[in-house]
Chains A and B, each alone.
Chain A
Amino acid sequence: MNQTPIVLLAAMLAMNTAQAADPAARRPADEILAHACSGCHGTFGHSSSPTPSIAGKAEEEFIAAMREFKSGQRVSSIMNRIARGYTDEDFVAMGQFFKNR
């Protein structure tokens, strides 16, 4: 028997539990989400160290990267843990925030 659908379902359920704390609640404002990133990536996403700058990154590229970090498709010892804390809508909001910085 092919177990793939069960594995996929389990993965989807696991992802859902890592979504917003209260699914019905309003999401934090775009800039509120984005400024938390600057602790590592620099103010407005401008890094002055080897940590990558995220300022000026193309929106689609940003969103795709965050989705891949969240799913584990792209491996990073840190960003996998961070990305799991956000919804896909959050990635869109952050992508829009950083693209023009």
Chain B
Amino acid sequence: MTGITRRSFLALAGTAGALSLMGGCAATSTQSARRKVVVVGGGYGGATAAKYLKLFDPGLDVTLIEKRKTYYSGPGSNEVLAGWHELAWLRRSQEGLQKNHGVHLIHGKVTEIDPERRSVELKDGSEIPYDRLVLSPGVDMRFDAIEGYNLKASKRIPHAWRPGKQTLQLHNQIKAMRNGGVVVITAPSGPYRCPPGPYERASLIAHYLKQHKPRSKVIILDDKTQFSKQALFFKGWEELYPGMVEWVSSEKEGKIDHVDVKKLTVATEFNHHSADVLNIIPPQKAGWLARKAELADASGWCPVELHSFESTLIPNIHVIGDSCIATPMPKSAFSANSQAKICAHAIVELFKGNPPGPPSLINHCYSVLAPDYAISITGVYEYSVTERQLVATSSGETPMDADRQKEAEFARSWRENITADTFE
């Protein structure tokens, strides 16, 4: 930051935030044609934001910046891990947003954000100015959280929590395992991407093992005492993979203490486990760019104002998706898609000089346990003035007696529609 100290900037930020609400008052409709919004991160959050900004106001100048040439979807990645599809099946392209909606698409890495000059700098040195910036940078792993598991260790023992090469690496390790081997998965505590993901992963690994290495098993060492859709997962494991999936609560064995990636062992506070294949899913934090720009608080995640998803720390920057704090919404593709629409709508209103209205959001997440067996969790959210956060006006899981095959069909349909709603 230049010309102004961080402290004085933060002191001003509160006022600036209020002013930024008013900033659009002077704007006329013709000026709105020149308003520039830069969106960084082309996943479910960022791509949806870019698309809906153009749907809500086609006159906006919207640029979407994604660092990866090839982006892979998180939803579905456990199915690739289980060998049901090629990795390419997860590939999602943002090019449709350019063709169908006139979003400028840039493949490049943002290295710097200058909130005073309102511009982002790319690795190639180019600068892109913005009136408002939307960040959807996903998650980073906390490599300082588990003794013995750091970035280097993750090359040998993949977390595979961001889909791509690591998904295939883990698949190949399971494929090479002996019949009768043990796959150990550690599940993190604290907010992390896709709360039911570790348990879906255990299910789909069990599906593979049941067919190819039936004497093997999966052990989940959990840093928590309970997890998402727990009763439904227990029922599913009993029905589909009896005796093959074991869940170990931290209530029983204590927290995960340390990992030895060479010996393939995990020590909990009160026990010790040896694995044939080890999958460490570490605790997580907001994506690098959000933390570098000082948009994250002490929790490692980014506080936002929930009518607009504008950062409460730096004005004119919005944070959506996994990186933001939108409790009690889980960190999921569906949440990111829903938050992106609220954020896009708010930005258009702010440019018109209107304060953003109350938000309404949905999360609906499927977990697939077998090709014809899925379960889901749902939440409908709005802002509570009294609680000053989002609250669920409805939430629930698949009823115990509901048709799991039908839910599996819904899960496949959902994937098609959310892909179109986000990327096309």
Contact = CB atoms under 8 A, between A and B. Distances in A.
Interface stretch (B17-25, B26-34, B164-172, B392-400): B392-400
Contacts of A5: none
A36 interface: yes
A48 B398 contact: no
A33 B421 CA distance: 16
A39 B393 contact: no
Interface in A52-101: 77-78, 80-86, 90
Contacts of A27: 358
A41 B364 CA distance: 12
A25 interface: yes
A8 interface: no
A14 B253 CA distance: 39
B380 A86 contact: yes
Question: Which size bracket describes the interface of B in this complex?
Answer: 35 or more
B149 interface: no
Contact of A82 (B52, B342, B364, B399): B364
Contacts of B337: 39
Contact of A19 (B357, B393, B421): B393
A12 interface: no
B30 to A, nearest CB: 23
B376 interface: yes
Contacts of B385: 21-22, 25
A77 B359 contact: no
Nearest to B360: A28
Contacts of B145: none
A3 interface: no
Interface in B118-167: none
Given A27-B358, A85-B380, A32 B342 contact: yes
Given A19-B393, A39-B337, A41-B417, A50 B384 contact: no
A28 B358 contact: yes
A82 B395 CA distance: 8
B409 A50 contact: yes
A38 B44 CA distance: 13
A97 to B, nearest CB: 12
B420 A42 contact: yes
Interface of B is mostly: mixed
A18 B394 contact: yes
Interface in B316-344: 334, 337-338, 341-342
Nearest to A38: B421
A51 B417 contact: yes
B373 interface: no
Nearest to B44: A39
Interface string B380-424: 111111110001111110110011001101101110111011000
B361 interface: yes
Given A20-B382, A49-B416, A78-B410, A86 B341 contact: no
A3 B57 CA distance: 55
Contacts of A90: 360
B345 interface: yes
A82 B363 CA distance: 10
Contact of B364 (A19, A20, A78, A83): A78
B265 interface: no
B309 to A, nearest CB: 13
Interface in B338-380: 338, 341-342, 345, 357-362, 364, 376, 378-380
A25 B384 CA distance: 8
Contacts of A40: 364, 413-414, 417-418
A98 to B, nearest CB: 15
Contacts of B55: 43
Given A21-B391, A42-B420, A82 B359 contact: no
A18 B382 CA distance: 12
A6 interface: no
9 contacts: A20-B382, A21-B384, A21-B391, A25-B385, A39-B337, A39-B421, A40-B418, A47-B417, A81-B396
Interface of A: 18-22, 25-29, 31-33, 35-43, 47-51, 77-78, 80-86, 90
Given A36-B341, A49-B414, A81-B394, 4 more contacts: A20-B393, A21-B382, A33-B360, A51-B410
